[in-house]
Amino acid sequence: INDEVAAGVSSDRVVVGGFSQGGAVAIYSALTTPQPLAGAVALSSYIPLAPSLMEEVTALTEHGKGTKVFWGHGDADPLVKYAYGLKSKELLEKLGVPVDFRTYRGMQHSACDAEIADLLKFLQSRLPPTAAEEGASGSAAAAAVDPPE
């Protein structure tokens, strides 16, 4: 997050995410960062429930509490049990974190087309084009319609 901000990206344009253990790290980072983020993504993941970690996670930053989370999990996951995903979602909701939890029937410890499509919608909702991006795409569209002579 700090590297992106140092590179000139506003923290509210950053989404952190990961799959499995990477999702656990992403959620932890999102909940404890002092900066506002655009969102967080956890795919087939969990929140480790070690007591020392729980103390940190329950001491959410205000920005962490406001971070919207997309969570996708297959109900046939043999590695990170579906129940772990549900318990993690429930914990986040108890802490006041908004979670969009999606269940994918029959999906194991992997991803599927429906999950990727849902993730894309989430990212589009959290990262709408900036005015500069819209202006650039409008200029490009105008140039394509009216090529220079």
Active site residues: 20, 77, 109
List of residues 6+ apart from 40 with CB closer than 8 A:
15, 16, 17, 26, 27, 29, 30, 31, 67, 68, 69, 70
